[in-house]
Amino acid sequence: MRQYTIAVISTNPVTGHLMEVQGQWMEVFESSDRQDSGGKDKHLGSSTLTLAPLVTKPPPPPVRHSQPLVIPGSRTRSAELSRSVPSIPNPFPELCSPAKSPVLNVTPSPPSSETHLIKVFGEDSHSRSLWVSPRATAREVCHMLVQTAHCTDQENWALIEIHPTLGLERVLEDHEEVIKVQAAWPQEGNTKLQFRKNYAKYEFFRKPMLFFPEKMISDSADVTKGITSAELIQNLLQSGTCPEIQGFLHVREPSRKAWKKVYFSLRRSGLYCSTKGSSKEPRHLQYVADLEDLNVYTVTNSRKLYGAPVDFTFCVKPSKDRVRAQDLKLLCAENEQTRTCWTSAFRLFKYGRKLQCNYQLSQSAPRQLEAVSQRCESEASLVAMDFSGKAGGRVIQNVREAQSAEKEEGLAWRRREAMRWSLPNLSPGSCPSSIHRTQPWFHGGASRIQAQRLIEEQGLVDGMFLIRESHQHAQCFVLSLCYGLKTKHYLVIPCEEAGRKYYTMDDGLTLFIDLLQLVEFHQINKGILPVCLKHPCVCVAL
């Protein structure tokens, strides 16, 4: 067997053209007996030449000039380039479907298995669902809702635990974990969380004597000689504790629906009741409950639900057990101040230093500028200020300069009034302005009871207010204002002078062109009110 490198010229059977085939071929010899043409048999060593390629190579693919060639190198480079370019989120997903979108739609990653879904309701019965961590506190959830609902400030918001069937409400402390609170709820109940304003959460740190009357802590003040009740309360609050509280409360007997008046004493060690009048001797005191295992709730509509003698009802129940009517210890005070004193003392004895830390944290949090940024801390001491300089405000000590500033401010007020009257809808003889309907403190046709309920829910602090339409007097309004833990109502009467319509609360001595001007004026001047308007009663929709 020999190997050759030859060139074979053959004819294409299809086209009839000659083709030249090159390659390595091997020669194979085969022996056979043949006869010659003369018929003579001869054994000749004949051979047959068979050409076979050693390595068969497939023919190259035909080149199609009508289609572009695919270059693998550039395709790989483009794929790597596309992977290196970050995906661009679609800023307007509602304008085009994901299939036809010219940009990439980035879907949010699903929440991790460690998060929990909670539902929070607003004051308009609408709710919002949030994914929170297992150890998320009420303060953190409130900040999430503030950002979601675009609220004006970060503080003075609270989560309220509401049991509608039992009529119970409780403000969650800022450090409480929301998931643990929900774990104690009955599965078949309608318990919910509500997000709303609460200005009275730490008000007892600012005005302790208003929340802790001297008559309820007088015995504790007598023990410490030379220290008044106000000094005693202030020292105890700064140390994260509370003075001993005692007084008579109506208690509902568990076996029947009757209410009995009993003398109670609240101490650091727990809640006690006296078996003999108002005696506080150890042999007459009966242990009721431990404060560490209790939560205190305010009771709404207590007269209808539980037959309470008055509306100032609260209750204590074990915090680790599920809420059941038979586990409630219902107590009823004589007035709102007494009830607030008892509930505040419960919170201070249970949480102590934690409440003071929460209060300091809320005070140190950044706040947005209020509508009246130049309001003095003490309303009784007002001074003239000049804010025209670049370095900030300065106190005007010269009497003549202060009088000149007062006249200038009055002229600016009248110019602003003239600009309002220059509007088309405020021409002489026209209807009064309806700008108050767009303000958060206006609550339309809310009744007297509803107004009191709204102010109580958002905190009985001095200066909490709202304006509503009067149900008894046509075209009149009512200013509902909280002062001294009570809600007072002032009638706003429309009047006409020199062809123009005004509003007044003092029989025409002070006139306002609309309710907005009335509110702005009383935010810096008390006038006939006992306190300036501070906190508008606002209902937020989630």
Strands 329-332, 259-267: pairing is unpaired
Of 171, 194, 217, the domain-final residue: 194
* Closest of 370, 364, 296, 358 to residue 140, by C-alpha: 358
Same domain membership, residue 181 and residue 214: no
Has residue 14 been placed in a domain?
Answer: no
Residue 178, SS3 per DSSP = helix
The mean pLDDT value for 339-360 works out to: 90
The count of structural domains within the chain is: 4
Find the CATH number of the domain harbouring 176. Answer: 3.10.20.90
CA distance 87 to 105: 8
The CATH number assigned to the domain holding 282 equals 2.30.29.30
Is residue 86 one of the residues assigned to a domain? no
Q: Please say which residue of 427, 445, 465 terminates a domain.
A: 427
d(C-alpha 288, C-alpha 290), whole Å = 7
Q: Is residue 386 part of a domain?
A: no
User: Which pLDDT score, from 0 to 100, does residue 418 have?
Assistant: 56
- Check whether residue 449 and residue 469 sit in a common domain: yes
CA distance 334 to 302: 13
Measured distance CA(115)–CA(130) in Å, rounded: 10
Lowest-pLDDT range, 319-328, 453-462, 518-527?
319-328
Any domain includes 21: no
Q: Which long-range contacts (CB under 8 A, 24 or more apart) does 383-392 make?
A: none
**pLDDT reading at 170 higher than 90:** yes
In a domain, 132, yes or no: yes
Place of tokens 């009067």: 470
In this structure, the number of other CB atoms found within 10 A of the CB of residue 483 comes to 16
| Mean per-residue pLDDT, 471-485 | 93
Amino acid present at 192: K
Q: Are 522 and 532 in contact (CB under 8 A)?
A: yes
Q: Chain centroid to CA 315: how far?
A: 27
Q: What pLDDT, on the 0 to 100 scale, is given for residue 308? A: 92
Same domain, 186 and 207: no
The answer on 471 and 350 residing in a single domain is: no
Portion of the chain with pLDDT greater than 70, in percent: 66
Residue 310 lies in a domain: yes
With cut-offs at 50, 70 and 90, classify the pLDDT of residue 43: very low
- Residue 415: give the domain boundaries: 398-427
Least trusted range by pLDDT, from 104-108, 262-266, 267-271, 283-287: 104-108
Over 90: is that where the pLDDT of 173 sits?
Answer: yes
Q: Do 169 and 132 share a domain, yes or no?
A: yes
Quickly count: other Cβ atoms within 10 Å of residue 37's Cβ.
5
The reply to whether 46 falls in a domain is no
- Identify whether the C-beta of residue 213 lies closer than 8 Å to the C-beta of residue 345: no
Higher pLDDT, 156 or 31: 156
User: Are 188 and 269 found together in one domain?
Assistant: no
| 491 in the same domain as 418 | no
Query: What six digits make up the tokens of 147?
Result: 């950002």
Comparison of pLDDT for 385 and 151, the residue scoring more: 151
Check if the beta carbon of residue 516 is closer than 8 Å to that of residue 442. Answer: no
Whether residue 128 contacts residue 151, with contact meaning beta carbons closer than 8 Å, is answered with: no
Q: Are residues 413 and 307 in the same domain?
A: no
Res. 452: pLDDT tops 90: yes
- Residue 272 phi/psi, 5° resolution? -130, 155
pLDDT of residue 382: 60
Same domain, 208 and 139: no
CB 362 within 8 A of CB 233: no
Asked which of 343, 364, 385 is the last residue of a domain, the reply is 364
Mean pLDDT of 479-507: 91
Mean pLDDT of the chain, nearest integer:
76
d(CA 145, CA 133): 15
Q: What is the pLDDT of residue 380?
A: 46
Percent of the chain with pLDDT over 90: 31
- Return the number of other C-beta atoms located less than 10 Å from residue 274's C-beta: 18
Q: Are residues 219 and 294 in the same domain?
A: yes
**Rounded distance between C-alpha atoms, residue 86 and residue 383, angstroms:** 60
- Which tens digit of pLDDT belongs to each residue from 375-431? 434 444 566 766 665 555 677 777 777 777 777 776 666 566 555 555 554 444 444
Token couple for 253: 């007997």
* Whole-number pLDDT of residue 454: 92
Top-confidence range, 110-114, 198-202, 538-542 = 198-202
Q: What is the pLDDT of residue 519?
A: 93
Look-up: residue for tokens 């076979």? 52
Residues 414 and 487 in one domain: no
Q: How far is CA 233 from CA 218, 247, 460, in A?
A: 11, 17, 20
Q: Are residues 445 and 520 in the same domain?
A: yes
- Out of 113-127, 417-431, 478-492, pick the least confident: 417-431
pLDDT at 63: 54
Residues in the chain: 542
* Token output for 7: 């060139």
Range scoring the smallest mean pLDDT among 329-333, 392-396, 437-441, 495-499: 392-396
Look at residue 274 and tell me if it is in a domain: yes
Q: How many other CB atoms are there within 10 angstroms of residue 332's CB atom?
A: 24
Decide: 25 and 4 in contact? Cβ < 8 Å.
Answer: yes
Nearest CA to 478 out of 452, 509, 440 is that of 452
